[in-house]
Amino acid sequence: MWIEPEEVLLAGALWVSERANPFFILQRRRGHGRGGGLSGLLVGTLDVVLDSSARVAPYRILLQTADSQIYWNIACGSSRKEITEHWDFLESNLLQTISIFDNDEDVITFVKGKISGIIAEENRLKRSEEQEENSGKFLEAELKMRKLFGMPEEEKLVNYYSCSYWKGRVPRQGWLYLSINHLCFYSFLLGKEVTLVVQWTEVTQLEKNATLVFPESVRVSTRNAEHFFSMFLNVNDTFKLMEQLANIAMRQLLDNEAFAADRSLPKACKTLKNVSALKRDFDARAKNERYRSMFRLTQDERLDGHTDCTLWTPFAKMHVVGQLFISNNYICFSSREEDLCQLIIPLREVTIVEKADSSSVLPCPVSISTKNKMNFLFANLKDRDFLVQRISDFLQRTPDGSWSDTNPLSLIGSSVRQAWLSEPCGSGSVLCLSVPRAPPASPNPQDPTPSTRGAITTAAYADPSSVPQMKERMKEEAWNIHFSEFGRGVCMYRTSRTRELVLNGIPERLRGELWLLFSGPYKVHTHTHTHTDEEVPVLHLLQILLSPLPAATEL
């Protein structure tokens, strides 16, 4: 077989040359084949003791040049027939070509490149054959499932596992088939047949446990029965897939419209080419769901990839270890230690992505700058060039947006802000910023004038003896200190301290800004589109939160 070229310093030691030309030498191991004598016996004994690879492949072909003492081993064989085929190939296809080269280095480079190409092609063909073999086994299992359980052709098999199903106190060894809509089991031992079909929509609980009676088992509970499966080769992978399929079925049952609109689900008419195609679809879907859940992103956000890295945190003056996530609209970071630090950076906010200078303290760093003058420094990135190129590709596809984190309205985009400010009041639109007030009552000489009311309001708010107002001021001051340390706006550093401040209460003046920041309505406008009927109530709620209340201004 062909092997990756490797250097050989002593071509004649323990080997006998049988054929040669100006560029190649065919050699046989001493002690193998006809007539080895005492030296051959010693070499054969040495190979056995040292478990040398020459016992398996006693033939080889070396590449040589006239001006070099270094040889290159390019092929080996277990039989004379195999090595002769390689020799004939070299004489027929390479010998005439390399004989016209003037430089020995060119000869070595050409032959090494040719051999590497042959090896790559052989590996590709082997992988293709393995995939076809796996595909054949998988299709056979899918046909068997449909025949055994009477499933329609639209029912797609996701994966199948060997396990035991406990019927009473007796385990029945068989095969567990997991399809998109059903969990199926079949066993036929000693003339006894066991068949089980459970729809995922009937499953009420999935539990993985390990007891003395059921070691590493999975319990599947329905409304009417409980089923136990054990003796899995990999119980964790099986349980994860079962849990995912059950969750998808529940989601379909609760919201058929949203389920049908989910483009990440495989289509029923899709033809699978190999065993892992549909399984990979579900694995990718699970990663997307975990990513969206971790950072509370919209349903159409798709994770492109993630990598381990470190983030420089200016508030702690240290590098935090975590993972960097890239999707079509966001760059996110989550620390390995829970609640230590989290980042959500919309791509619309990014202005510069560049590679910083590497050092022993900061290897492979990348700097990301945003429109609100915040800089983030990520380091220890394994494939920095590819990461920067990938982010640049997403930035090119990101529509321009004039966001700025200096005020709450800007968090949801300038186009929406302009629409709110330009909408005429009284037109019936929910985007009008002004809150309708009650008509003024009849004049009363005892009521204070508007200017007097304003003075009373200002004096009351400035009065330090007012306990509620003092609490409000203390909350505002705590948030201002937090903003100065961790940043302000969408791209702020989110830590456990942020959560504590929210739990302690949000001051009246910051409620609109912080609601926009933590409840996620700005994510509705990450994608450029018109407002749907589902988004209008969100915008109306924004209007209410951002509008001043009469009670707050007339204390």
- The third-level CATH classification (topology) of the domain covering 151-261 is PH-domain like (2.30.29)
* Tens-place pLDDT, residues 331-373: 999 998 877 889 999 988 899 999 888 888 888 899 999 988 8
Same fold, 151-261 and 301-397: yes
Q: CA–CA separation, 278 vs 486, rounded Å? A: 43
Distance between alpha carbon 171 and the CA centroid of its chain, in Å? Answer: 38
User: Is the pLDDT higher at 400 or at 383?
Assistant: 383
Average pLDDT over residues 155-162: 86
Tell me how far apart the alpha carbons of residues 441 and 443 are, in angstroms, rounded to a whole number. Answer: 6
| Residue 525 clears pLDDT 80, i.e. is over it | no
Other CB atoms within a 10 A radius of the CB of residue 390 amount to 15
Residue 83 DSSP symbol: H
Calculate mean pLDDT across residues 284-307: 84
> What are the structure tokens assigned to 108, written together?
């070595």
Domain ranges of the chain: 2-120, 151-261, 301-397, 408-437+449-553
The per-residue pLDDT for 464 is 53
Instruction: Please state, rounded to an integer, the average pLDDT across all residues of the chain.
Output: 74
Which pLDDT does position 254 carry in this prediction? 73
Return the minimum-mean-pLDDT range out of 10-24, 30-44, 65-79, 118-132: 30-44
Task: Report the range of poorest mean pLDDT among 16-25, 176-185, 255-264.
Answer: 255-264
More confident residue, 10 or 379: 379
Task: State the amino acid at position 29 in one-letter form.
Answer: R
Q: Which of 26, 90, 35 is nearest to 59 (CA)?
A: 26
The domain defined by 301-397 carries CATH number 2.40.50.140: no
In angstroms, the CA 225 to CA 262 distance is 32
| % pLDDT > 70, the chain | 69
pLDDT of the residue at 39: 53
Give the amino acid at 234.
N
- What pTM value is reported for the model? 0.48
**95: number of CA atoms within 13 Å, CB side?**
13
Packing angle of the helix pair 496-504, 467-486 (nearest 10 deg)? 160
Residue 170: phi and psi, rounded to 5, are -115, 125
pLDDT at 89 exceeding the cut of 80: yes
The residue to which tokens 């950072």 are assigned: 295
pLDDT tens-place string over residues 411-457: 443 333 444 444 444 433 333 333 333 444 444 444 444 444 444 44
